[in-house]
Structures are given as structure tokens and as C-alpha cells.
């Protein structure tokens, strides 16, 4: 029995953010790992152009580019920040005759006595040599074998995908076809899901997230009513990296693309949700328009990147909140939606359906973070200086 040589791929990694880093770490570790398990021969990185930092105009590299520079990995960037439709990447312009190697160190020939009788001249080795020559011939004319895309931002056009011998794969943190779109982890929390997963799909040059599904792994969400974005991103980042390596390993064993399934062939969700990009407006928690459940979900999905409320016309960052479980809260706070009072150790805010949210930590713009108690005392002093005699009056979030 002949075990075919394992293909080692030249891979171009397209990525940007922290979620991309989980998969990049896996590829880089394999590149420098034991030879008997190595499937990455060479690694090149492609990232979007450097973007201005949030606090100034200075351009800052994304996490993936920083990793590339720190580890002396070749990195390329398009010049157009909006599209790569017309980009002619220089890293694809110089094809090499043999873009993969075949790891002959793991090639083994196992013969029983029957095989020896059938192949007295060592036919198994001859077959292995023929397969090796065939695989090497198939790599000619391609500088790279595979594109791996993880949270890259751009739609990759056909002229780039077709330059890769085996096309490209994408790691998507949802159970496609549910949560197609740029923000699947956010919408998993916003939608109150109790299960999630990752899908490995091939690249489509026309639309995002519509490729054939090569692998799909479902997992439960631990404590779905409390999970926050950073924890879920970490869980799915590790899972996605593992499933990506599993798919690349299968491609390496076959030295070919995988068949996969169209998304129409997969189980369809009852309520299909498109994971649209998170708008700036969604970071504003308008209690008068949201239930306590929706406020809590938004907070858990978005607080890592800043959520705020507007209190008496002043923008306030909200650092710690949760639905109030105290049954007496609705009696304490009986005003209109958006009204708020301080009670015990929290600021209680009435939501649109009469439910209540408890805020325990806040931060005024330009000030340090404080507890709800300290915030309320400061608020009392402020309105006292403004000539308001009743410092216990109800606050109001707009």
C-alpha cells in the first residue's frame, strides 16, 4: 500500500484584525514546526493599508501587519483603501516552476506477501514516483498554492483568486448560511443565540460568504445570557484556526481542492439574519427605545469597543450594566422610558417595555471611570451648583 507524499503549500494569508491572528498563529507555528507534520512551506501576508489611529492622524499598522514585521514575514498592502478590484499584486507576478514540495520523508510503502507476488519489481514505489511527478507537474505556473482569508475586509476578485493553484478558503465565525456578513460574532450575541460555530468556505469572486462549505463545526455557547464579545471571539478564533488547519491538512493529503457543499444544501435557519456592519448609532444605548434584554445584548456585543448613553445632554460611557433582577425596581422607577434614579449601588434606568437596567460603572467624557454611587454624588453636586434645589430628582437618558 502506498501513502502519497504530503504536499507542502506556499500560502498567502489575507487578514486584518485580532480574529485573523488566531489563524495566522496556527499557520506560522506549522511553518516552523516538526517536518513530519508540516503543511506550510512558505507564508506571505497581505493586509489592508495602514489606517489612522482613533486618537490622531498617525497611520498605524493592523495587528496582522505588526505580526508580519515582528517575525520578518513578507507583507504586501494594496494602495486603495476601498477596493482591490483593480489591484495587480506584485507578489503574484513572478510564478515559480515548483511552488510546493512533497514531503518524501513520510512516504511509506507497505506490502503484504500478496502485494510482493503481484508486484515483483516494486510496483508500489513506481506508482508513488508517478504520483509525485504528476503532483509536481500540476504546480507549475503558480507562485502560490492557496489563499487563506480571515477577516480581510475586501472582496477578492477573480484575477487574484485564480492565481492560486487551489484557489482560496475563508474562515467565517458562524454556521453559514446564518449570519452572512461582516459582523457575525456581534449578531450572534445580539440575536440571543445559544449555539454558534465556524464555517470554512471557498472564496467566491462575486459575493461575500456564499462559497461552498468545506467544513462546518457547531458548538454550544456557555452561559449565552452573559457571554461578551471578547470571550466569544476568543472561543471562535481558536475553533476557526483549528478547523482551518483541518481543511488545509485534507487538501494537503489530496493535493487538490475539496468538493464541499453549496449553502442551499445545508440546514436553513428559521429566521435568516444578515450580520450587517455595526453602525456608530448602535453604540448609543437609547433606553427609551430598547428593552432591558436588548440593552444587555448590545452592551455585551459592543462594550469592548465603547457604548454610551446621553444623560441630560451629556455623553456618558457605560462600563458595567445588566438587567435588574430586583422585582421592586419597577416600583422604585415608575417614570417614562429613559428615566433613571440612583438606588443602593446602581443607577436604575427604565426601558421601553417597563423593564429596568442597573448601571454600576460609568465614565464622563474626559474623566476617569467611577462607580454609580460616586457618579450620582458628582451629579448631585453639579445640579446643586446649577441652582436646582431638589438633588434627588429623576435623571433622564435620551
Considering the domain boundaries, does residue 274 fall inside one? no
Question: Residue 225 and residue 351: Cα distance in Å, rounded?
Answer: 18
Do 187 and 331 belong to one domain? Answer: no
Crossing angle for the helix pair 292-302 and 229-254, nearest 10 degrees? Answer: 60
Question: Residue 366 and residue 113: Cα distance in Å, rounded?
Answer: 81
Per-residue confidence of the chain (398 residues) as pLDDT tens digits? 455 567 899 999 999 999 999 999 999 999 999 999 999 999 999 999 998 876 667 889 999 999 999 999 999 999 999 999 999 998 887 544 344 333 333 333 232 333 333 333 433 444 344 444 444 444 455 789 999 999 999 999 999 999 999 999 999 999 999 999 999 999 999 999 999 999 999 999 999 999 999 999 999 999 999 999 999 999 999 999 999 999 999 999 999 999 999 999 998 999 999 999 999 999 999 999 999 999 999 999 999 989 999 988 889 999 999 999 887 777 777 778 999 988 889 999 999 998 999 999 999 888 999 999 999 888 777 655 554 444 445 788 97
Residues 6+ apart with CB under 8 A from 273: 178, 179, 187, 191
Do 246 and 301 belong to one domain? Answer: no
Asked whether the beta carbons of 161 and 167 are under 8 A apart, the reply is yes
CATH number at residue 244: 3.40.50.170
The beta-strand segments (E) located in the chain are 6-15, 40-46, 51-52, 59-60, 75-76, 101-103, 146-150, 168-172, 195-202, 213-220, 308-311, 314-323, 339-343, 346-350, 356-364, 370-371, 395-396
Q: Report the predicted TM-score, pTM, of the whole model to 2 decimal places.
A: 0.85
C-alpha cell of residue 393: 430628582
Do 255 and 284 belong to one domain? Answer: no
Q: How many CA atoms lie less than 13 Å away from 85 in the CB half-sphere? A: 4
Judge if the upstream peptide bond of residue 271 is cis by omega within 30 degrees of 0. Answer: no
Range of the domain at 175: 6-265
Considering the domain boundaries, does residue 272 fall inside one? no
Single residue among 198, 232, 265 that ends a domain in this structure: 265
Q: What pLDDT score was predicted for residue 23?
A: 99
Considering the domain boundaries, does residue 120 fall inside one? yes
- N-to-C CA span, the chain: 73
Residues 6+ apart with CB under 8 A from 339: 333, 349, 350, 394, 395, 396, 397
Exposure pattern of 345-369 as b/e (b: 16+ CB <10 Å)?
ebbbbbbbeebbbbbbbbbbeeeee
Do 126 and 158 belong to one domain? Answer: yes
Asked whether the beta carbons of 273 and 178 are under 8 A apart, the reply is yes
Do 94 and 120 belong to one domain? Answer: yes
Do 233 and 332 belong to one domain? Answer: no
Question: Between β-strands 40-46 and 51-52, what pairing exists: parallel, antiparallel or unpaired?
Answer: unpaired
Instruction: Indicate the Cα dihedral angle 37, 42, 46, 52, nearest 10°.
Output: 80
Do 229 and 289 belong to one domain? Answer: no
CATH number at residue 296: 3.10.25.10
Question: Residue 388 and residue 252: Cα distance in Å, rounded?
Answer: 73
Do 259 and 306 belong to one domain? Answer: no
Q: How many domains does the chain have?
A: 2
Do 216 and 286 belong to one domain? Answer: no
Could you read off the pLDDT of 270-321 as tens digits, one per residue? 999 999 999 999 999 999 999 999 999 999 999 998 999 998 888 999 999 9
Considering the domain boundaries, does residue 81 fall inside one? yes
CA-derived radius of gyration, the chain:
27
Considering the domain boundaries, does residue 270 fall inside one? no
Do 86 and 17 belong to one domain? Answer: yes
C-alpha cell of residue 33: 514546526
Single residue among 265, 291, 322 that ends a domain in this structure: 265
- Backbone φ and ψ of 293, nearest 5°: -65, -45
Question: Between β-strands 101-103 and 6-15, what pairing exists: parallel, antiparallel or unpaired?
Answer: antiparallel
Question: Residue 355 and residue 328: Cα distance in Å, rounded?
Answer: 11
Considering the domain boundaries, does residue 228 fall inside one? yes
Do 253 and 288 belong to one domain? Answer: no
Single residue among 265, 291, 320 that ends a domain in this structure: 265
Do 315 and 189 belong to one domain? Answer: no
Amino acid at each position: 500500500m502506498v501513502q502519497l507524499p504530503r504536499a507542502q503549500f506556499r500560502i498567502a494569508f489575507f487578514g486584518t484584525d485580532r480574529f485573523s491572528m488566531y489563524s495566522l498563529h496556527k499557520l506560522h507555528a506549522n511553518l516552523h514546526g516538526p517536518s513530519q507534520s508540516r503543511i506550510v512551506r512558505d507564508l506571505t501576508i497581505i493586509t489592508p493599508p495602514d489606517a489612522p489611529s482613533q486618537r490622531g492622524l498617525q497611520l498605524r499598522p493592523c495587528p496582522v501587519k505588526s505580526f508580519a514585521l515582528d517575525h520578518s514575514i513578507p507583507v504586501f498592502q494594496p494602495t486603495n483603501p476601498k477596493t482591490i478590484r483593480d489591484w495587480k499584486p506584485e507578489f503574484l507576478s513572478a510564478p515559480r516552476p515548483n511552488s510546493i514540495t512533497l514531503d518524501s520523508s513520510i512516504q511509506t510503502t507497505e506490502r503484504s506477501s500478496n502485494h510482493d507476488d503481484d508486484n515483483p519489481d516494486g510496483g508500489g514505489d513506481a506508482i508513488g514516483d508517478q504520483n509525485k511527478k504528476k503532483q509536481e507537474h500540476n504546480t507549475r505556473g503558480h507562485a502560490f498554492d492557496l489563499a487563506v482569508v480571515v477577516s480581510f475586509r475586501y472582496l477578492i476578485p477573480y484575477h487574484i483568486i485564480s492565481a492560486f493553484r487551489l484557489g482560496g478558503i475563508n474562515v467565517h465565525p458562524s454556521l453559514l448560511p446564518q449570519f452572512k456578513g461582516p459582523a457575525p460574532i456581534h449578531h450572534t450575541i445580539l440575536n440571543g443565540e445559544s449555539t454558534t460555530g465556524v464555517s470554512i468556505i471557498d472564496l467566491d469572486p462575486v459575493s461575500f460568504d456564499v462559497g461552498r462549505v468545506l467544513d462546518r463545526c457547531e458548538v454550544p455557547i456557555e452561559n449565552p445570557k452573559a457571554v461578551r464579545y471578547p470571550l466569544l471571539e476568543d472561543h471562535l478564533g481558536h475553533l476557526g484556526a483549528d478547523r482551518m488547519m483541518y481543511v488545509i491538512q485534507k487538501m494537503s493529503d489530496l493535493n487538490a481542492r475539496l468538493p464541499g457543499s453549496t449553502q442551499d444544501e445545508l440546514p436553513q435557519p428559521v429566521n435568516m439574519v444578515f450580520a450587517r456592519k455595526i453602525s456608530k448609532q448602535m453604540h448609543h444605548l437609547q433606553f427609551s427605545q430598547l428593552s432591558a434584554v436588548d440593552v444587555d445584548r448590545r452592551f455585551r456585543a459592543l462594550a469592548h469597543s465603547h457604548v454610551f448613553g446621553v444623560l441630560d445632554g451629556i455623553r456618558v460611557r457605560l462600563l458595567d450594566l445588566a438587567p435588574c433582577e430586583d422585582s421592586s425596581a419597577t416600583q422604585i422607577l415608575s417614570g417614562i422610558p429613559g428615566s433613571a434614579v440612583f438606588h443602593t449601588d446602581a443607577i436604575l434606568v427604565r426601558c421601553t417595555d417597563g423593564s429596568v437596567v442597573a448601571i454600576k460603572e460609568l465614565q464622563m467624557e474626559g474623566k476617569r471611570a467611577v462607580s454609580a454611587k460616586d457618579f450620582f454624588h458628582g451629579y448631585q453636586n453639579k445640579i446643586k451648583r446649577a441652582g436646582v434645589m431638589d438633588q434627588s430628582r429623576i435623571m433622564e437618558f435620551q
